[in-house]
Amino acid sequence: QKSLVQYHAWLPFNSGNSAHNLFCLIRLQDGLAPGGFNFDAKLRRESTDVEDLFIAHISGMDTMARGLRNVAKLIEDGSLDELVRKRYQSFDTEIGAMIEAGKGDFETLEKKVLEWGEPTVPSGKQELAEMLFQSAL
């Protein structure tokens, strides 16, 4: 059963933030369903009339639409997903699966470290991930 996740968007005027939040939401539950997003716009600062509220809703929904289009580009391109897959590929190894399942104790891990030697820590490629994300905006 998939978990119900909702994305709450209050005055989403930044399409980069919207794309990031929607990407996480869509990847977490393999799509918008069964969650979705709750959209709301509130008057703020010197915006005091109904027209301001109307404009806030239109602008916010336009930003959400741009965010969704950007997420679609990221998903269709697949390069960010591939980067994440490579980053966590050790979780697919025998010992990685054992640790992820909560079955790896310190004694077992110590034996593996002594057997294999000091592990190398690969780069998380954060800069590349951010560049790939930004290129879709």
pLDDT digits (tens, 9 = 90+) for 10-59: 456 677 777 877 777 777 777 777 666 666 666 667 777 888 888 878 88
User: What pLDDT does 114 receive?
Assistant: 92
Instruction: Mark whether 7 and 70 lie in a shared domain.
Output: yes
Instruction: Mark whether 92 and 124 lie in a shared domain.
Output: yes
Instruction: Mark whether 32 and 63 lie in a shared domain.
Output: yes
Instruction: Mark whether 106 and 86 lie in a shared domain.
Output: yes
Summarised one tens digit per residue, pLDDT across range 102-116 is 888 899 888 988 998
Instruction: Mark whether 121 and 65 lie in a shared domain.
Output: no
Domain count along the chain = 2
State mean pLDDT over 88-110.
87
Instruction: Mark whether 55 and 99 lie in a shared domain.
Output: no
Model confidence, pTM:
0.65
CA-to-CA distance for 68 and 22, rounded, in angstroms? 7
Instruction: Mark whether 72 and 8 lie in a shared domain.
Output: yes
Kindly give, in sequence order, each residue whose CB lies less than 8 Å from that of residue 53, ignoring residues fewer than 6 positions away: 41, 42, 43, 47
Grade residue 1 by pLDDT with cuts at 50, 70 and 90. Answer: very low
User: What's the domain range around 91?
Assistant: 79-136
Instruction: Mark whether 91 and 40 lie in a shared domain.
Output: no
State mean pLDDT over 75-88.
90
User: What pLDDT does 12 receive?
Assistant: 61
User: What pLDDT does 42 receive?
Assistant: 63
Instruction: Mark whether 83 and 72 lie in a shared domain.
Output: no
Instruction: Mark whether 25 and 13 lie in a shared domain.
Output: yes
Instruction: Mark whether 88 and 54 lie in a shared domain.
Output: no
CA-to-CA distance for 133 and 70, rounded, in angstroms? 9
C-beta of residue 32 within 8 angstroms of C-beta of residue 50: no
